[in-house]
Amino acid sequence: MEHALWYLLLLGHWGKRRCSITDFYAYGNYLGEAIHHVKARAKVLGLSDCQLLEATRVETFSSPDPIYSIRLSNGVFVGKGISSFTVSPDTVPFLYPTGIVQNVTDGLLELRDAEDTYTASMCSKWHVVRSQLQKVTFEQIFYKVLDIVPQVQQVCLTVRDYNGEGRGASKWIKKIEDKHVLLSLIKDNSKDILENGFVEFEVYTPDGETCLGFDKYRHLLLKTQHKAFYQLYLLQLQSFKVQEVETISLPDSCQYYCHYRPFESLVEKEFKNLL
């Protein structure tokens, strides 16, 4: 993707008890690069633990209007309107896993409640569980559940087109029978697998009757034919206070979202060397 101007809305902290929601603009070859530059400059303002709430590509390449923004560096600008508030459970919005973010182009941002949810269903002989989790819960539960999977045999990585040019997706499959090797692979390459919004991941057990992974929506997915493991999985979700709901709306059907990859993560053609 060519160099572009991006708009970002960040939630940050002033000390321990105050939060702020702040507008930023930044140039970058891709969204992850712009996020990196903005977070670095946000520290200059005294903002810490910044989390991304919204991002969108600005159609015009010209600099933001100086009436509404202040230049922090050659490529980063901050909006003049900073909303500050006291931290409380009611004011903390849902923070999506790294790799996906709301992209509200009409200027109206509706922040959803900070609640982790899941659905459970049967499809033929398969128990299917879909979970929509916040950033921290997503990573914690993913590693926790992967740790209790009794055995692994095969990993599948699907990498979708970074630029949305309709080139389809690339898929890599690798035989990995040592769970410790698998965990090391994911942890050592977290920004390329777990945090890359263009990557979908699946791991299969030797009998092919259990599959754990996450999709392009950053939803954690379990498909298993083993009732005992299904029940154990639900107990893990409930231990993290994940609430069961009847349905989970897929992002593409209710709001605009955009996928992104972290700064200095692998480009598409480099994934063939990862597995």
State the Cα–Cα distance between residues 19 and 45, nearest whole angstrom.
13
- pLDDT band at residue 175 under the 50/70/90 scheme: very high
State the Cα–Cα distance between residues 226 and 223, nearest whole angstrom.
9
Nearest residue to 179 (alpha-carbon basis) of 224, 220, 145: 145
The CA–CA distances, whole Å, from 268 to 23, 78, 157, 158, 272 equal 30, 32, 12, 10, 8
58-78 per-position pLDDT tens digit: 876 667 776 668 888 888 998
The CA–CA distances, whole Å, from 49 to 20, 43, 140, 162, 228 equal 11, 9, 18, 27, 39
State the Cα–Cα distance between residues 275 and 272, nearest whole angstrom.
6
Q: List, in order, residues 6 or more apart from 202 with CB less than 8 Å away.
A: 155, 156, 158, 211, 212, 213
Does pTM top 0.85 for this prediction? yes
pLDDT the model gives residue 70: 82
State the Cα–Cα distance between residues 264 and 270, nearest whole angstrom.
12
User: Six-digit token pair at 120?
Assistant: 């459970």
Mean per-residue pLDDT over the chain, rounded: 85
16-60 per-position pLDDT tens digit: 777 888 889 999 999 999 999 999 998 888 888 889 988 988 876
State the Cα–Cα distance between residues 89 and 254, nearest whole angstrom.
25
Residue 256 per-residue DSSP state: -
